[in-house]
Amino acid sequence: MSLLQVEGLVAGYGPAQVLHGVDLTVGEGEVVVVLGANGAGKTTLMRAIAGLLTSRGTIAFAGHRLGNRRAELVVRAGISLVPQGRGTFTALTVLENLRVGAAVRTDRDGVAADIEHWFGVFPVLRDRAKQVAGTLSGGEQQMLAVARALMSRPRLLLCDEISLGLAPKIVAGLFEVLGRINAESGTALLLVEQNAELALALAGRAYLLEVGRVAGQGAAGEFRDNDAVRRAYLGY
């Protein structure tokens, strides 16, 4: 059984239906990427899984139905979202952001150890621990957003366009960290990504979302070799 099992997911904003019955799975420890044009519904899919949008259909995680649970309960179940556009609280310090990410945990020593761990992975965050997040560079904020999402110790990390607007070197560093997190702790990753090249290199499987429907799926390697995918998302 898959770790995440989404079936017939329908979601949108008021009368505007964006997802028209999406089926998608993520296995334990798997890395899966969702590609799709602007407006295809990728962010809507991530927000629905994270419990930030009401939806119909089935969202099951680790064998339990999550559908329409509140976001906090979804985090408690083991899913954490790095939202599009830097998910930090800009008025809070770096340290406060990390503590907020651990709000569902009660093991204070474990939380302190994890903060140290992420300071080791992203040393710039340690240097700026007392600085408010809004004063960090884009890349630093994205590192903080990733670390903050991981502070809840998720079994599945959802990343919505974490490369958006960042310098290639920063993006490569973030992807390297994501690969390490997956390899070392077995955290499954579901990535929505414009940078298809990097995402397909990290992922085992991929989905293509077109106007709210799954238009294709397969092994990441096969996706890279598919002419239509290459032209639309890889630019060669």
Q: What does the binding site for ligand ATP look like in residue numbers (CB under 6 A)?
A: 13, 16, 18, 36, 38-44
Residue 85 Cβ, how far from ligand ATP at the closest point, in Å? 9
Residue 206 Cβ, how far from ligand ATP at the closest point, in Å? 15
Q: What's the rounded Cα separation, in Å, for the pair 189 and 30?
A: 6
CA dihedral sign of residues 206, 19, 186, 147: positive
CB 53 within 8 A of CB 47: yes
Nearer to ligand ATP, 41 or 139 (CB): 41
Nearer to ligand ATP, 71 or 129 (CB): 71
Q: What's the rounded Cα separation, in Å, for the pair 4 and 165?
A: 29
Cα separations in angstroms, 105 against 4, 16, 228: 22, 36, 45
Residue 53 Cβ, how far from ligand ATP at the closest point, in Å? 9
Residue 44 Cβ, how far from ligand ATP at the closest point, in Å? 3
Nearer to ligand ATP, 102 or 229 (CB): 229
CB 90 within 8 A of CB 72: no
Nearer to ligand ATP, 40 or 75 (CB): 40
Residue 40 Cβ, how far from ligand ATP at the closest point, in Å? 4
Q: What's the rounded Cα separation, in Å, for the pair 236 and 229?
A: 10
Token pair of 93 as six digits: 């310090």
Nearer to ligand ATP, 152 or 163 (CB): 163
Cα separations in angstroms, 15 against 6, 12, 205: 22, 7, 32
Residue 233 Cβ, how far from ligand ATP at the closest point, in Å? 12
Nearer to ligand ATP, 1 or 16 (CB): 16
